[in-house]
Structure 1
Amino acid sequence: MNRALHQPAAPAPGSGARIVLATLNAKYIHASLGLRCLLANMDRHGGAGLRAQTQLREFVIGQPATRMVEDLLALQPEVIGLGVYIWNVVETTQLVRLLKALRPDISIVLGGPEVSFEVEQQEICRLADHVVTGWGDVSFPKLCLALLDGPQPLMKVIAGEQPPLAELALPYNEYTAEDLAQRLLYVEASRGCPFKCEFCLSSLDKTAWAFELDGFMAEMDALYRRGARNFKFVDRTFNLKIANSVRILQFFLDRIAEAPDVFVHFEVVPDSLPDRLKELIAQFPAGALQFEVGIQSFNPEVQQRISRQQDNGKTADNLRWLVGQSRAHVHADLIFGLPGETLESFAQGFDRLHGLAPHEIQFGVLKRLRGTPITRHTAGFAMVYDPQTPYTILQNSTVDFAAMQRIKRFARYWEMVANSGRFSQGLSLLLSPGSAFGNFLAFSDWLWQTTGKTHEFALEKLVDLLFAHLTQVRALDSAQVAAALMADYQASGARGRPQCLATLLAGAQRASGLPEEKARTERQGRHLGQQQALREEMQKAAAAA
């Protein structure tokens, strides 16, 4: 997709809005659910007519700040509300600086998880006029009404009001036709989480609240009838209330019968998969269902230390069932750097998870999210975090800085090689025999020493590097390695020529009897169509978000 074609359009001459809701998304394909929740509730909780005076603007990280400011000021707003997250706070701070320098009369209101805690420590909060912490569905419209019509609010920091969910207008009508056709749609059947995992902001919720199911399902049906086919559920615990989960799964299973391109993503509690859910999950076709399974750690001591409740035996059984008995795509998460986790204990957990064969292992490094209880371990485990976003752990009492850097490189290379899906056979050679973690760490160390970089690897160069490591360092048979990488490379649909495969690729071309240009045309013809390519991008975005 050409992102340049999908930048926010310049406002039409004469168009304006007294209130503008804006944020910087990581990618164009992401559509902000939070802003749409605010937009949908402007009339209900601010006053009749307030929605008509409000416009939504979404930008993408990487756009010039001056261009974003130009677009915002062209709307002639009196209030600008900005959604602030860990991934956009640096860029949003610069946006606020420019807005305040050019138009100090505009009221800047911040909201979002990044500014809901430690407000007094953040430059962006000092620059802004008001900060709404926590839920903004009710408090932001009320604040806007006061800013526009008075009386002027006395407090800069406003604790967000949390109403019963039945009092909130659902946001799904705010998705445009373009959103439905080209973007990943975020939906929520519930808010909150009953679990207390200390690295997660949801641990502060104490419980989970479900939206009224009939109304929610009616909204999902309306989205579907408008053409929506990609749904990412942001519920932290989708399978917490099984009766609701069953009804939601059945809804999408029924729709797939008439629209095979439906794709749904859920985050699930890993040790709770009763037979009622399994019976439905098993009926979904390949490519329709994706589960994000948060493992984080298989170390019982670490789990207890961070207040994570998880039955490791049931978790392993459920993962084994999902991979072996369903056609769902399984994306499993691990976190490195938790207090008390050693390199050795993490390696054991990684190998255990790898042995269960999820389709992807998302290997993350601990971040100190503002407000999370993980900070209570800072002194006891000498936890040192990067003071700059995303506040990644630098070292602790069991993993020094040098080892932490090795693991961060491991995570980056794992994403490129393992999670890319381009090295199925080559990865099998790389990770066996013995410890998958140990084998990949050795490759990661060698790749860093050989190249000195973690980004900007062309696929052809990566193939050559993997070949060199497997044949020169691991001393595997070169013909076996070349055959495996050749199969992977051809399956990827790539059209370059890695040096290690030059002879095999030339032989394959001669055997086909096709000139290079015709061969290239046929390869292009085998590529996925535009809609399938978009669907795959949405699946990746859903897993990464």
Structure 2
Amino acid sequence: MKNITLLGINSKFVHTNLAIRYIKKMIEQVEGYNLTMVESSINNQLPNIIREVIESKPEILLVSTYIWNREFVFKIIVELKKINPNLKIYLGGPEVSYNAAEVMETYSEVDGIIEGEGEKIITNLLQKEEKDVLGLYYRDEKNKDDIKFNGHETPIENLDIIPFPYENWELMENKGKIFYYESTRGCPFRCSYCMSSIEKSVRSFSLPRVKRDLMTFLDAGVNLVKFVDRTFNLKKDHYIEVWKFLIENYRPNTTFHFEISADLFDDEVIEFLTTVPKELFQFEIGVQTINDRTMKLIRRKNDLEKLSKNVVAIKDNIHLHLDLIAGLPKEDFETFKSSFNYVYDLKPEMIQLGFLKILRGTEISGQIEEFDYKYMGFPPYEVISNDDITYEELLKLKDVEEVLDFYYNSGDFIKSVDYLINNFYSSPFEFYLDLADFYEEKDHFKVSHKKLAIFNFLVDFYNEKKFGDGERKTRFIEYLKFDYINLGKPGKYPEWFISSKDRDHYHEVVEKLVEESKFKNNRQGFKNTEMEEFDIDIFTGERKKTKLLFIYEGKETKIQEC
């Protein structure tokens, strides 16, 4: 019996590696192998990962290689070969598939590289000689510097032959992790920057198979299942059936995340989506840019009017992430502002401001000279500049990305930031750019900050910009007070927070809640509520005193006037 170890190094502890689980399940169907799965993250120490691999006593090591773990992987395999020169090491994954020969020439420790779908290729590798395996780069037996390749392996036609990747016990024991899942492979679109555009056909697992898999997740009660289908809503008869199944078998604590194109939905689908239970679905929508010239160059087409209409229609009950990419061809600093403002005005739960990466194998990796791209020579190969945007401008956008996370994506500044944008700025982008400049001037980016400090910095920003005292300042502080209390029971009140709470009335309200059995006793009532009086009606802006009761129920805060 040969010992095989599968190594997956994730970018975060909460992630799960889908690839090595698929491979493990496929090898289990081949006799003669003992399997060990070593899964870690880039936050672990290299010696710890090396030790765990060596203790599994592998004769063959299979490693899943990506942008986020590439440098880790190469450091690890060099040390592993020192410890065990006879260990056979095979790599797979997008970070080695498109320059396999170059990788093997650079790293003599690599015995082979899988190009394509590993499930089929590795199964063949374990049952045949290397020279007979398609999709495999390997070394000639007599001359190890001679890299051989037998040609490409065809994609797996019947995806159902690939077993469900997860064990029931790991689902039950790790409910808080992110479990990746796919119901289709491939993508018909040709976005020039995307690895998925390389395989243009789309294959699907059968619906009965998908439903069985999803029921396993539901029965285990996991928190988040993230579909890795590149565009989930391609085939209506497929995706609608999946969604109907999830609604019919709804579990309140399980959420399913999908990457979708919002402008593909027709009116029937939109009407259906408005019936989805809140928190059941998350949609990630790649807008990337609204610049017509850029969209044509990257082979992407967005029906912006339909996209915005559909987003507005479903955002009340579906958690939405909208994506932008800075550094695309012919997207300069000014046109990027328009893309940012378009997405911001749709008010999704999260705006993901990403930066173009020049990935091997993509069309854009062959257009470096055409657009004068400069990019980092190490993962994640992020763009430094091109002929339309400078390094300094991209750094500005990096700063905007960070304050956007603080003051928008956090969901902590619901009222106060809107007040500032609507009253003192011509657009959302101008506000975040101004705030980013303030953070940079004050050196706030150089250290991490607690939540209270981020609130305090916004007050400092208001004062520094001299937006005004009197009514303007009153309104800003009242909205900020609301945002602060809305987060949860305050443990500490900042200096700018002057409480106007009617304590006697607060006691009466809590006692009534206890009488109504909302809480067991007064102590629990005070612990899970807060009351505050405001000089304005927070929801209408009318100038009148308003008392609000905040009831904290898990992640949600319920608010009622009293």
Would you call these one fold, judging by a TM-score over 0.5? yes
**Matched letter for residue 117 of structure 2:** W
**Displacement of 1:174 after TM fit?**
3.5
Structure 2 counterpart SS, 1:57? strand
Higher helix share: 1
**Displacement of 1:26 after TM fit?**
1.7
The yes-or-no answer on 1:102 pairing with 2:97 is no
Aligned to 1:248: 242
Aligned to 1:169: 162
Structure 1 counterpart SS, 2:442? helix
Aligned to 1:322: 314
Instruction: Tell which deviates more after alignment, 21-30 or 472-481.
Output: 472-481
Structure 1 counterpart SS, 2:478? helix
Instruction: Tell which deviates more after alignment, 199-208 or 97-106.
Output: 97-106
| Aligned residues of 1:17 and 1:75 also touching (Cα < 8 A) | no
* Residue number among 195, 201, 204 corresponding to 2:198 in the alignment: 204
The yes-or-no answer on 1:218 pairing with 2:215 is no
**Matched letter for residue 114 of structure 2:** V
Aligned to 2:419: 429
Aligned to 1:347: 337
CA separation of 1:78/1:421 partners in 2, compared to 1, >3 Å: closer, same or farther?
same
Aligned to 1:4: none
Structure 2 counterpart SS, 1:35? helix
The yes-or-no answer on 1:86 pairing with 2:76 is no
* Residue number among 136, 147, 160 corresponding to 2:118 in the alignment: 136
**Displacement of 1:173 after TM fit?**
4.3
The yes-or-no answer on 1:288 pairing with 2:280 is yes
Aligned to 1:194: 188
**Matched letter for residue 317 of structure 1:** K
Instruction: Tell which deviates more after alignment, 363-372 or 313-322.
Output: 313-322
CA RMSD in angstroms, aligned pairs only: 3.0
Aligned to 1:48: 31
Aligned to 1:74: 55
Structure 1 counterpart SS, 2:263? coil
Identity within the alignment, %: 24
Aligned to 1:5: none
**Displacement of 1:36 after TM fit?**
1.3
If asked which structure has higher relative contact order (CA below 8 Å, sep 6+), I would say 1
**Matched letter for residue 10 of structure 2:** N
**Displacement of 1:320 after TM fit?**
2.2
**Matched letter for residue 448 of structure 1:** E
The yes-or-no answer on 1:272 pairing with 2:272 is no
TM-score (norm 2): 0.82
CA distance in 1, matches of 2:503, 2:204: 58
The yes-or-no answer on 1:299 pairing with 2:297 is no
Higher strand share: 2
**Displacement of 1:81 after TM fit?**
1.0
**Displacement of 1:181 after TM fit?**
2.2
Once the two structures are superposed, what CA deviation does each residue of 1:497-526 show, in whole Å capped at 9, x if it has no partner?
464435449x68898679xx9999547997
**Displacement of 1:43 after TM fit?**
4.1
| Aligned residues of 2:247 and 2:277 also touching (Cα < 8 A) | no
Aligned to 2:322: 332
| Aligned residues of 2:89 and 2:110 also touching (Cα < 8 A) | yes
**Displacement of 1:166 after TM fit?**
3.8
Structure 2 counterpart SS, 1:481? helix
* Residue number among 30, 33, 38 corresponding to 2:18 in the alignment: 33
Once the two structures are superposed, what CA deviation does each residue of 1:276-302 show, in whole Å capped at 9, x if it has no partner?
322331111221111111100111110
| Aligned residues of 1:31 and 1:185 also touching (Cα < 8 A) | yes
**Displacement of 1:232 after TM fit?**
1.4
**Matched letter for residue 468 of structure 1:** D
Instruction: Tell which deviates more after alignment, 368-377 or 491-500.
Output: 491-500
**Displacement of 1:118 after TM fit?**
2.2
**Displacement of 1:23 after TM fit?**
1.1
* Residue number among 353, 368, 377 corresponding to 1:363 in the alignment: 353
Structure 1 counterpart SS, 2:155? coil
CA distance in 2, matches of 1:384, 1:494: 48
CA distance in 1, matches of 2:416, 2:360: 40
Aligned to 1:6: none
The yes-or-no answer on 1:484 pairing with 2:479 is yes
| Aligned residues of 1:132 and 1:160 also touching (Cα < 8 A) | no
CA distance in 2, matches of 1:212, 1:27: 31
| Aligned residues of 1:332 and 1:362 also touching (Cα < 8 A) | yes
CA distance in 1, matches of 2:502, 2:153: 64
| Aligned residues of 1:180 and 1:229 also touching (Cα < 8 A) | no
Instruction: Tell which deviates more after alignment, 219-228 or 88-97.
Output: 219-228
TM-score (norm 1): 0.85
Aligned to 1:310: 302
Once the two structures are superposed, what CA deviation does each residue of 1:354-387 show, in whole Å capped at 9, x if it has no partner?
2222221111111112221112331122111011
Once the two structures are superposed, what CA deviation does each residue of 1:261-320 show, in whole Å capped at 9, x if it has no partner?
231111111211123322331111221111111100111110001111222222222222
**Matched letter for residue 260 of structure 1:** P
Rg (Cα) greater in structure: 2
Aligned to 2:395: 405
**Matched letter for residue 237 of structure 2:** A
**Displacement of 1:455 after TM fit?**
5.0
5+ residue gaps in structure 2?
141-146, 511-522, 531-549, 557-562
**Total equivalences in the alignment:** 504
Once the two structures are superposed, what CA deviation does each residue of 1:455-488 show, in whole Å capped at 9, x if it has no partner?
5122111111111112321514333222222211
* Residue number among 359, 370, 373 corresponding to 1:380 in the alignment: 370
Structure 2 counterpart SS, 1:90? helix
Instruction: Tell which deviates more after alignment, 460-469 or 332-341.
Output: 460-469
Structure 2 counterpart SS, 1:115? helix
Aligned to 1:115: 96
**Displacement of 1:157 after TM fit?**
6.6
**Matched letter for residue 253 of structure 2:** D
Structure 1 counterpart SS, 2:496? helix
CA separation of 1:410/1:135 partners in 2, compared to 1, >3 Å: closer, same or farther?
same
Once the two structures are superposed, what CA deviation does each residue of 1:421-446 show, in whole Å capped at 9, x if it has no partner?
11111221343342111111111111
**Matched letter for residue 429 of structure 2:** F
Aligned to 1:461: 453
Once the two structures are superposed, what CA deviation does each residue of 1:24-59 show, in whole Å capped at 9, x if it has no partner?
112222111111111121144xx2354xx1121210
5+ residue gaps in structure 1?
1-15, 534-545
**Displacement of 1:448 after TM fit?**
0.9
Instruction: Tell which deviates more after alignment, 190-199 or 305-314.
Output: 305-314
Once the two structures are superposed, what CA deviation does each residue of 1:308-337 show, in whole Å capped at 9, x if it has no partner?
1222222222222222xx510111101111
